[in-house]
Chains A and B, each alone.
Chain A
Amino acid sequence: MKKEIGIFSLIKRIAFNLMIIFILVYLLFPFYWAVNSSLKTESQLFMTPATAVPRDPVTLEFSPTLQNYAAVFQDGQFLRGLANSTIVATSTTTLALVAGSFAAFALGKLRFRGRKPALYLILAMTMFPQVTVLTGLYAVITALGLSARISMIFSYMIFTLPFTTWVLTAFFKELPDALMESAQVDGATPFQTFRRILLPLTAPALVTTGLLAFIAAWNEYLFALTFTSIDPAARTVPVAIAYFTGAVARQEPFGEIMAAASLVTIPLVVLVLVFQRRIVAGLTAGAVKG
C-alpha cells in the first residue's frame, strides 16, 4: 500500500517536472533564437540550413561573435534610450498605480451614484486603436507645450490607467466587506482603511498590474516614435532600435537589432525576479497550496 503511493507520487513528480520543462522551452525558445541570432555575423545569419548555435560557414565550428553587441554600445542612441525608457516607464507605472488604485478603491468598495458609468468611461478611453487617436493626441500635446518625455508618460495613461483601474477594482471587490467594517468600528476613516489594510492585502494585484503596465510602457513604439520626432534625445529603446542603420548601407542590421532586443530584456527579467516575491504576499502570505 505504502509503496504504491510512493510510485504514484514519483510519477506525479516526474510528470510535473516534464510539464515545467515543456512550458519553459515553449516560452524561452524564441528568445533563445534571438540571442543565437545576435551572436551571428551577417553571413552566418544567412546560412542554410539555419544553425542552432553560431557556426563558421566553412568549418562549421562553434564561432560566436560579439560584434553586434559592440555596435549596439557604440551607438550612443541605445544607452540614452535605456535611460529614457527607464524614466518614462517608471513614471508611467507609478502614476497609473496611484491614480488607478485610488479609483479602484472607490469603484470596488464604496457606494456612490455613477459607479458604472465611471467604470465604462475609464475603459472606453482605451478602446480606440492607437493610430486613430494619434493626431488628436499630438494636437493636445502641442497645445499644452509638453516635452517629449512628459508627453509619453501622459499618453501612456491611455492604455495603462484603464488596465490598472479595472484589475485593481476586481481585486478590491474580492476582499471581504467585513474587513472594512471592522476597521471602521475601530475608528479608522475609509481612507485609512484603504491605505493601511486593503492596499497591503492587494499587493499581489498591485505588483502584477505594475509589472504588466511597466513592460507595456517600456515596449510602446508608435506614440514614442511620434512624440520624439522633434526631440531625438528623448527617444526610448524601441525607437532607438528602429533607427539602427547598420554597417551595410540600406540593409537592415538584423544581428544588431536582436542584440539590442536581448539586452533590453535582461533588466526586465531582473525586475520581475525582484518583484515576484511580492506576488505571494497578501491574504495567503506564508501559506502554501498543494
Chain B
Amino acid sequence: MAGKNDLGSTNNWKAPKKMGISDLARREERLAFRLLLPALLIILLIAFYPLAQVFYTSFTDRVFASGEETNFIGFENYRQLLSVHVMELEPVLDEATGQQLVDPDSGEKVFERPLDVLPREPNRYRELNQFDLLGKRYVIGATDPNFIEAVQNTLVFTAISVFIELILGLAIALVVNSKFKFRGAMRAAMLVPWAVITVVSARMWEWMLAPSRIGMFNALFDRLGLIDSPIAFLASGGYQLSALIAVDVWKTTPFMALLILAGLQIMPEDIFEAAEIDGAGKIRQFFMITLPLLKPAIAVALIFRTLDALRVFDIFQVMLGQSTYSMASYNYFQLIGNRNMGLASAIGVIIFILIFVFAVSYIRMLGVDEE
C-alpha cells in the first residue's frame, strides 16, 4: 500500500526507506520461490515429460505399442480431426417434368447423395449432418465425423451438467450450512455419491437404467403406469445424453456442494449482522453479500468441474460403449482400439486447448486472478 507509492517515488529523502522495502520485497520473493519449489519439482518429475511427449507425438504417425518407424507428419493429425466442409446439395430433377424428384416411400424431396458431392482429396469427407437454409439443402462433411460429434456431445454434456451441478450444489450447500440436528450425518451422507467408485457407479447406473423391467427405472415407471413398454435409456439417440447428464449430476454435485460449503464457512459473520441491522432481507443478503463473497469458491469449483466434465471418460466408456463417444473416450478408442497414438495425442492436445480456453475465460469472467 504505502510501499507502492514509495517505489514509484523518486524523492531522495525517501531513499533509505525505499531500500528497506525493496529488500523486504526481495525476501518475500525468495520465500515465494522456496514455497513453490515442492510443487514445481513434482510437476517437473511427473508431468513435464509426459505432456511434452503428447505435444511431440501429436505431430507424428506413431503407432501405439509397436516397433514401427515413426514419421514426422506436421499438422496432418489435426487436419484429419478438424477438417469440416459445407457443400450445397443440388436437387435431383425428374428428366421428364423438370421438377424435383420426390421419394415415393418417404414423401421427401430427393437431393444429390452427400457422398458424390463431398471432396475426396486429400482426405475423404464423410457426412456429419444436413440442414436447410433459404430453400437450399446443405451437407456438412468432416474427415472424422466421429470426432466432431464427440466434441459436440462433450460440450453439450459439460454445459448442461456443470450448470445443473452448480445450482444444486449451491442449494445443498446453503441447506447444510444452516444449523439443524443431524447436520454432521447429513454432511457425510452428502458425500456418498462422490465416494462410490466411479467405474462401479457407472455399472450400477447402467443396471438401474437397463432396457427392461430388470432395471429399477423401468420397473418403477411401469408400476406407476407411466410407460407402456420399457424405455431403452442408453440406446443410440433419444435419452443417451440426458441419462449420462443425470448420472454425472448425481455423482459430482457433492463435489460442488462441499467446495461451496467451505466458502460459506469462512465468511465473516459481522457482515451479515450489519446487513441485518440495515434491514436487508434474506434474499437481498444472498444476492448482495453471500454470492459476491462466494465468487472465488464458486470459480474454482466451476473450473475443476468443467475441466473434469470436458475430459469425461468413465461413464461414456462403460455406459455407452462404442455407440457414442465423448472426446476422451474417442481418444481412448483411437489409442487402444486403433493404436493410432499420433492421432490420439492430437486429440489430447485439442482437449487441452479447449480446457485452457474455458479456464482462462472463467478466470477472466469471475475476476479471480486479480491482485
Contacts and interface: CB of A to CB of B under 8 A. Distances in A.
29 contacts: A16-B180, A27-B190, A28-B192, A30-B204, A30-B208, A31-B196, A103-B35, A111-B25, A111-B28, A112-B28, A113-B29, A127-B307, A127-B356, A131-B313, A135-B53, A137-B46, A144-B45, A165-B39, A170-B296, A174-B296, A190-B31, A215-B195, A219-B195, A219-B198, A268-B195, A272-B188, A276-B184, A279-B262, A290-B178
Interface in A97-154: 98-100, 102-103, 105-107, 110-113, 115-116, 118-119, 121-137, 139-140, 144, 154
Interface of B: 25, 28-29, 31-33, 35-36, 38-40, 42-43, 45-47, 49-54, 64, 172, 175, 177-180, 184-201, 203-205, 207-208, 212-216, 218-219, 222-223, 250, 253-255, 258-259, 261-269, 272, 282, 293, 296-297, 299-300, 303-304, 307, 311, 313-314, 327-328, 331-332, 335-336, 341, 344-345, 347-348, 351-352, 355-356, 359, 368-369, 371
Given A112-B29, A129-B328, A268-B191, A33 B261 contact: no
B43 A49 contact: no
B32 A106 contact: yes
A166 interface: yes
A21 B311 CA distance: 33
A273 B191 CA distance: 10
Interface stretch (A1-9, A66-74, A254-262): A254-262
Contact of A131 (B31, B208, B335): B335
Contacts of A121: 40, 43
A96 to B, nearest CB: 9
A20 B186 contact: yes
Main SS at interface, chain B = helix
Nearest to B347: A132
A157 interface: yes
A53 interface: no
Interface string A40-51: 000001111110
A245 to B, nearest CB: 16
Contact of B341 (A135, A215, A288, A289): A135
Contacts of B264: 289
B369 A27 contact: no
A269 interface: yes
A139 B53 contact: yes
Interface in A271-290: 272-273, 276-277, 279-280, 282-284, 287-290
Nearest to A126: B307
A82 interface: no
B351 A269 contact: no
Among B49, B189, B335, chain A packs the most CB atoms within 10 A around the CB of B189
Contacts of A115: 32
Nearest to B260: A208
B371 to A, nearest CB: 8
B266 A282 contact: yes
Given A49-B219, A129-B311, A131-B335, 20 more contacts: A27-B250, A30-B193, A33-B204, A49-B214, A50-B214, A100-B39, A102-B38, A125-B51, A127-B352, A127-B359, A131-B328, A155-B46, A157-B47, A205-B262, A205-B266, A237-B197, A238-B198, A257-B203, A276-B187, A280-B265
A19 B199 CA distance: 30
A157 B46 contact: yes
Given A167-B300, A284-B265, A128 B51 contact: yes
A28 B255 CA distance: 15
Given A106-B36, A128-B54, A99 B212 contact: no
A155 B352 CA distance: 18
A52 B265 CA distance: 38
A289 B269 contact: yes
Contact of B214 (A47, A123, A173, A201): A47
Among A175, A272, A279, chain B packs the most CB atoms within 10 A around the CB of A272
A232 to B, nearest CB: 18
Contacts of A280: 265
A171 interface: yes
Given A49-B223, A110-B31, A157-B42, A279 B261 contact: yes
B304 A166 contact: yes
A49 B28 contact: no
Contacts of A105: 35
A99 B39 contact: yes
Contact of A208 (B54, B186, B258): B258
A241 B262 contact: no
A137 B282 CA distance: 51
A87 interface: no
A65 interface: no
B215 A50 contact: yes
A20 to B, nearest CB: 6
Contacts of A284: 265-269
Contacts of B36: 102-103, 106-107, 118
A45 B208 CA distance: 11
Given A49-B219, A50-B213, A106-B31, A37 B207 contact: yes
A202 interface: yes
Contacts of A265: 192, 195-196
A115 B32 CA distance: 9
A212 interface: yes
Interface in A211-245: 211-212, 215, 218-219, 221-222, 237-238, 241-242
Given A27-B189, A157-B46, A215-B195, A33 B332 contact: no
A247 interface: no
Nearest to A201: B266
